[in-house]
Amino acid sequence: MNHPIRPIAESEFPAVCDLLDEAFVSSWAPGQIERFKGVTEFDRSLAAFDGDRMVGFTQVMSFDMTVPGGVLPVAGVSSVGVLASHRRRGVLSALMRRQLADVHAKGEVFAALYASEAAIYGRYGYGRAVDNVFYSIPKHSSAFRADAPVDPTLRLRVEPPERAREDFVRVFDQVRPTRPGLYMRTAARWNATLADDDNARGSAGRLRCVLAEDDDGVRGYALFRVKRKVTDHDVPDGEVLLQELFAVDPAAYAALWRSLLDRDLCARVFAANRPVDDPVMHLLAEPRHLNAGTLDELWIRLVDVPGALTQRAYSAPVELVVEVDDDVCPWNAGRWRLSTAKHTCERTEDAPDLSLPVRILGAGYLGGRSLESYRMAGQITEHREGAVRELSAAMSWSPLPWGGLVF
Question: Is 121 a catalytic site residue?
Answer: yes
88 is in an annotated binding site: yes
Identify whether the C-beta of residue 242 lies closer than 8 Å to the C-beta of residue 272: yes
Distance, CA of 385 to CA of 353 (rounded, Å):
8
State the helix-helix crossing angle for 30-39 and 13-23, rounded to 10 degrees: 110
CA-to-CA separations, 319 to 69, 343, 364, in angstroms, rounded = 18, 10, 17
Distance, CA of 276 to CA of 295 (rounded, Å):
10
81 is in an annotated binding site: yes
Question: Is 407 a catalytic site residue?
Answer: yes
Distance, CA of 130 to CA of 74 (rounded, Å):
15
103 is in an annotated binding site: no
91 is in an annotated binding site: yes
The strand ranges marked E within 124-278 are 127-128, 131-138, 155-159, 208-214, 217-227, 238-247, 266-275
Identify whether the C-beta of residue 31 lies closer than 8 Å to the C-beta of residue 72: no
Nearest to 300 by CA among 129, 48, 177: 129
Nearest to 63 by CA among 35, 34, 31, 41: 41
Q: What region does 404 belong to: left with phi over 0, alpha with psi -120 to 50, or beta?
A: left
116 is in an annotated binding site: yes
How many CA atoms within 13 Å lie on the side-chain side of 122? 10
Catalytic residue among 121, 172, 183, 246: 121
State phi, psi for 140 to the nearest 5 degrees: -70, -10
Residues making up the annotated binding site for acetyl-CoA are 80-82, 88-93, 116-117
Catalytic positions? 121, 407
